[in-house]
Structure 1
Amino acid sequence: MFLIDMFNKKTILPDAATALRGREEAIPTATTHFVSGRPLQDPYPEGMKKVLFGMGCFWGAERLLWQIPGVYVTAVGYSGGLTPNPTYQETTTGLTGHAEVVLVVYDPAKVSLQRLLKTFFEEHDPTQGMRQGNDIGTTYRSAIYVYDEGQLAEASAARNVYQKALKAFDHDRAITTEIAMAGPFYFAEDYHQQYLAKNPDGYCGLSGSGVSCPIGA
């Protein structure tokens, strides 16, 4: 019974009454990107744009995204939840409401949001609900959090195009990706930042659906 209760707790989003309280102070994290040496936090160079991608475990997703030409810097953290300044241990309980996400700061003159969205949809399976492969829980849900209405429209359009592509292969496959305006983003702890650059043999749970997303070519 205890295992069933824990499973259910991790796959159902909390509400304000059940979410953990959190804290006022930000948790300590790295100041610079382990690979590029660029600052992780604002201020970013003029003209840069931001988007948050939840693709399951954020270690592998971040490594994938920092390698795209035109991406200025990436960082991992937590967003889409209720608990202010959560720790990793708190998010894994399922009681903060957050998804593990990658902050992508990109130069729109060098890489389009469509290009990033194509990578997002192809490199994980956006049809799995509150899980990604063997990683189960609300923290591993597929999500796109955007910072303006233009990004919101692009992300929604990309989802619709990809949904048609998926249906052509399997009529029962429905995208569960959460698409919304970004709320607070909380940087994850230092050891999570660029984890797979520091630990090349570490875990990476990324696995795409095998269906190409016909956008951003």
Structure 2
Amino acid sequence: MKDTVLRVLPMGLPYSLFARPLLRFTDSEKAHSLAMRGLTSFGQSRAGQRALSTIYHAPELPIHVFGKLFHHPLGLAAGFDKGAEALSAWPALGFSWIEYGGITRFPQEGNPKPRMFRSNSDGALVNRMGFNNPGAVAVNDRLTARRASGMWPKVPVAANIGRSRKTPNESAPSDYSSTLEMLWNHADMFVLNVSSPN
């Protein structure tokens, strides 16, 4: 654990002095988009992944769940990498598993902006994004290309799937199954998101 703490400290000061104040005064959704662009770029090359891996080294606490090896329990939940753009960056940052999405059968713009708000007094971020995502076809194409490039993550990957806003409730099962079928080859496990307020 001492080694882990020592490796995190060098990043802490620059983050506190420069990155955090910059992000604090940037619109929340814009800050998220900037972070995603940077992580996607770094994750697309081995050199970028090596650079990211110097930021944090997670301790090994291996567990087996559903026949899959997780190097430790900490993973990235759905909502940050909605379109599965930065999959190769997350393991380099120390995450033991990745959940991309939520993905819907059809592309969605989400709710009108502004839809993400900071609550500085609570140290919280509130979002009402509305399930914005590029849709299952675009994500399937992106992940097919990623697999072909040899840059697929070596950690378990989950896909979070939800019902498209334009799909009526009575057609939800076929909407879910279409998305599941399109992403079947691009996830080790699936999370069915039935609570998103579409």
Q: TM-score range by the shorter chain?
A: under 0.3
Q: Whose helix proportion is higher, 1 or 2?
A: 2
- Structure showing greater Rg: 2
Q: TM-score, length-normalised on structure 2?
A: 0.28
Q: TM-score, length-normalised on structure 1?
A: 0.26
RCO higher in 1 or 2 (8 Å CA, sep ≥ 6)? 1
